[in-house]
Amino acid sequence: MEEFINIGKRIPKMDAEEKVTGRAIYIHDLKVSGMLYGKILYSPHPHAKILNIDTSQAEKLPGVKAVLTGYNIPPIKFGFYKDNTPLKAGKVRSYRDEVAAVAAIDPDIAEEALDLIKVDYEILPAVFDPEEAMKEGAPLIHEEHVGGKEKKPTNVLNLPWRLVCGDVEEARKNSAFVAEDRFKVTWVSHCCMGTSGCLAQFDLKNNLTIYSPTQIPSLAQRDFTDALSAMGLQGKKARVIKTIIGGGFGSKLDTYAFEYIAILLAYKTRKPVRIVFSREEEFFATSPRQPAIIHIAQGCSKDGKLTFRDIRMTLDNGAYTSWGATVPSVMMMPSSSLYKVPNVRYAAKCVYTNNTYSQAMRGYGTPQVTFAIDSQIDILAEMAGIDPLDFRIRNANTPGEVTPQNFKINTCGLRECIDAVAQKLDWRQVRGRKDGKGVGMASLIHVGGGARVYKSDGCGTIIKVDDFGTVNVFTGATDMGQGSDTVIAQIVAEELGVRVEDVVVTHTDTDVCPWDVGAHASRTTFVAGNSACGAAKKVKEQLLEVAAKSLGESPENLDIRDRIIFSKKDPEKKTPLGKTLRAAHYTTGGNMVMAEYFYDPANENLDKDLKGNLSVTYTFGTHGVEVEVDKETGQVKILKYVAAHDVGKAINPMLLEGQVYGGATMGIGYALTERLILQNGKVMNPNFLDYKMLTAKDVPNIETIVIETNDPFGPFGAKGIGEPGLVPTAPAIANAIYDAVGVRIKELPITPEKVLAALKEKTNPK
């Protein structure tokens, strides 16, 4: 086993010092000379015609520099379904519809101007339930939207998500046991501590620079360039500069109305315009996790081998379309491939309503569907009279497997994860007491080696080395706090034989950094890491070529360690790295060391049947929980929490633990306390008092178990870890509650009220 200097080390995050001293500049801290402040007026109705907008009073207010509405902006359509505009004209379809926007010299004047804008509405009937919205005669959210074979107006989106593997009907007939249940999951919010915002400005030639805490700098650049064209600015450039991100979790994987509004205000006023969301706006005007109504059936043979899995979902798409409508494409992953199940059917409908609309959120549909799948595994195991631990072992994925969706499993540590969790929970001894204390477990599969959701899954890296051995790495990757800056530095330092402190990682500017598809799908360590590795290898080659001459050795016999280039045959033959660099540079026909590498993993787009090897490799994990349920109050207390993850290789165990702790805590909130409450389309709890995020008093001690399967395709063997931490949390807890008190809750969050109601029902069935 190789002895690494930088890999596997608990190296502190590179920008931690900046953050802990208050020096880090987030979008809220960024000020530019002459900057104006933008604010947005939202709709007071869930569904209404806009009859008239009078902005004359607002425009007259001293300090106001521009007022925009859907009637005085160029036609920009955004979102992949192209059904959204930055400011609405004709009608409003939800409480978060942007109706007007103001730019003023200070935020208070902008706020005052909003109050002066008079809008006349004609209220329309609204629909807030996707199952209602599918019915004949339901109010149409987008009247011009047609679908189905007859191309009739409909609220059902033309996204017939459907996956068929094998023959589910046949398998069902031949199953010894079949479980059939309905699960429901609702909206939860990312709750990034730093609210959304951006700062847009144009240069004298009408090229745009936009400061944004985005997770997709390259794709955002393309979206904004398209917007410039729609504004009549064809050929003009968009430059995206990232400010330090105050939390991502998928909330910054699309481009948003407020960004286009900032751009339009900046263009109108010829001044920089910054928009920053209040916390209330962050709750009601940003897109939460995709809710779902899940109908699921699974079957098994007499000895507990899964025979089929049949899932049918209805998704509340809200008033407009963002990434929420694509989560089915990722929900298919656990549907087809969590545990070995030969026959699979998955279908999902996305339906417009007058509710808020959803986007990506950590897990991207997998926490939702895994709640249903892995809760039902316990239900099925009980029917079959098999311990849920044994049931999972019997059906566990294995290395080298090809799943029904054509995922090629390379490394797979699922069995080790299940065993570790069972051992830590003392499973065999402790399970089945039904005395108020119980244990439960659940597993996950996730992409671990990139995910080809777009045509490219690539990331570019450029490296340059200066005269003194400082290594500048320009990566397309995004750090949003998870630590990709540090992991990339560790990988480059290891590859090049320098120290981590010699490496400076820049990832902030589309004018400087190469293309990357984005910080999603837990792909950054794997893809950006491999990309950095590739560039570093080229740099090392150049360094060894140069040193070969001065040392009188052939490059194959040389290596670099701790800033010294030495001969492997005779380690006393050595020279410092800096000396080599300066000798190469300061001479006639000199050279400076630079290299680039674009890594695009060998994974596949899903084909027209939605099958294909989406990722180069997959991660697995199991969470186990011991809970105590208070039968008087319905409160669930977590006594023990164990999170086992197959990570390939822990490049930085400390940062990895941070991902697991953070993910699991988010998952516990998802399971027990968090809910964005909408009533007739209105968010009722847009604040931290009423939206229950876990505090330091609530989080249990989480024991992490790191299983290293050393993936051959990952950088130093690593696979992704960003999302897995919250994928199996909810079913693990639900299963533990069932073991504790015998009630099965199929709707999240599992609040004390729901537990009490279920306990009452159990003792006094109606």
Minimum CB distance to other proteins smaller for 190 or for 431: 190
Minimum CB distance to other proteins smaller for 76 or for 245: 245
Query: CA-CA distance, 711 to 722, in Å (whole number)?
Result: 17
By the rule CB under 8 A, 657 interacts with other proteins: yes
The three-class DSSP label of residue 487 is helix
Q: How far is the CB of 666 from other proteins (least distance, A)?
A: 7
Query: Which part of the chain contacts other proteins (CB under 8 A), choosing from 164-172, 363-371, 406-414, 662-670?
Result: 662-670
- Whether 95 contacts 45, CB under 8 Å: yes
Q: Which residue of 270, 279, 428, 760 would you call a contact of other proteins, by CB under 8 A?
A: 279
Q: How far is the CB of 374 from other proteins (least distance, A)?
A: 21
By the rule CB under 8 A, 19 interacts with other proteins: yes
AA letter at 23:
R
Cis peptide before 288 (omega within 30 of 0): no
Measuring CA to CA, how many Å separate 530 from each of 653, 656, 657, 715? 18, 18, 21, 5
Query: Which part of the chain contacts other proteins (CB under 8 A), choosing from 9-17, 87-95, 429-437, 543-551?
Result: 9-17
By the rule CB under 8 A, 685 interacts with other proteins: no
Query: Which part of the chain contacts other proteins (CB under 8 A), choosing from 7-15, 152-160, 297-305, 734-742?
Result: 7-15
Binding mask 224-263 for other proteins (x = CB under 8 A): --------------------xxxxxx--------------
Q: Which residue of 666, 683, 706, 748 would you call a contact of other proteins, by CB under 8 A?
A: 666
Minimum CB distance to other proteins smaller for 127 or for 188: 188
Query: CA-CA distance, 642 to 430, in Å (whole number)?
Result: 15
Neighbours of 135 (CB within 10 A): 10
By the rule CB under 8 A, 134 interacts with other proteins: no
Angle, helices 729-741 vs 366-384, to 10°: value is: 30
By the rule CB under 8 A, 217 interacts with other proteins: no
Query: CA-CA distance, 531 to 541, in Å (whole number)?
Result: 16
Encoded tokens for 120? 């006349």
Q: Which residue of 699, 752, 757, 759 would you call a contact of other proteins, by CB under 8 A?
A: 699
Q: Which residue of 6, 7, 8, 26 would you call a contact of other proteins, by CB under 8 A?
A: 26
| Count, residues near other proteins per rule CB under 8 A | 56
In sequence order, the 6+-apart residues with CB closer than 8 A to the CB of 424 are: 624, 640, 642, 703, 705
Q: How far is the CB of 441 from other proteins (least distance, A)?
A: 19
By the rule CB under 8 A, 146 interacts with other proteins: no
Query: CA-CA distance, 483 to 491, in Å (whole number)?
Result: 12
Q: Which residue of 35, 89, 583, 693 would you call a contact of other proteins, by CB under 8 A?
A: 693
Query: CA-CA distance, 354 to 366, in Å (whole number)?
Result: 25
Q: SS3 for 97-144, per residue?
A: CEEEEEEECCHHHHHHHHHCCEEEEEECCCCCCHHHHCCCCCCCCCCC
Query: Which part of the chain contacts other proteins (CB under 8 A), choosing from 13-21, 89-97, 117-125, 575-583?
Result: 13-21
Q: How far is the CB of 644 from other proteins (least distance, A)?
A: 16
Binding mask 328-357 for other proteins (x = CB under 8 A): ------------------------------
In sequence order, the 6+-apart residues with CB closer than 8 A to the CB of 431 are: 387, 389, 438, 439, 739
Q: Which of residues 180-199 bind other proteins (CB under 8 A)?
A: 190-195
Where does 583-653 show beta strands of DSSP type E? Answer: 594-599, 618-629, 636-646
Q: How far is the CB of 702 from other proteins (least distance, A)?
A: 6
- Whether 284 contacts 320, CB under 8 Å: no
Q: Which of residues 462-491 bind other proteins (CB under 8 A)?
A: 480-483
Query: Which part of the chain contacts other proteins (CB under 8 A), choosing from 516-524, 539-547, 673-681, 686-694?
Result: 686-694
Minimum CB distance to other proteins smaller for 693 or for 759: 693
Any idea what the Cα angle at residue 123 is, between residues 119 and 126, rounded to 5°?
Answer: 130
By the rule CB under 8 A, 720 interacts with other proteins: no
Where is 169: in which H helix or E strand? helix 168-173
Q: How far is the CB of 35 from other proteins (least distance, A)?
A: 12
- Whether 525 contacts 645, CB under 8 Å: no
Interacting residues with other proteins (CB under 8 A)? 10, 12-13, 15-26, 28-29, 190-195, 244-249, 278-279, 480-483, 654-655, 657-658, 661-666, 687-689, 693-697, 699, 701-702
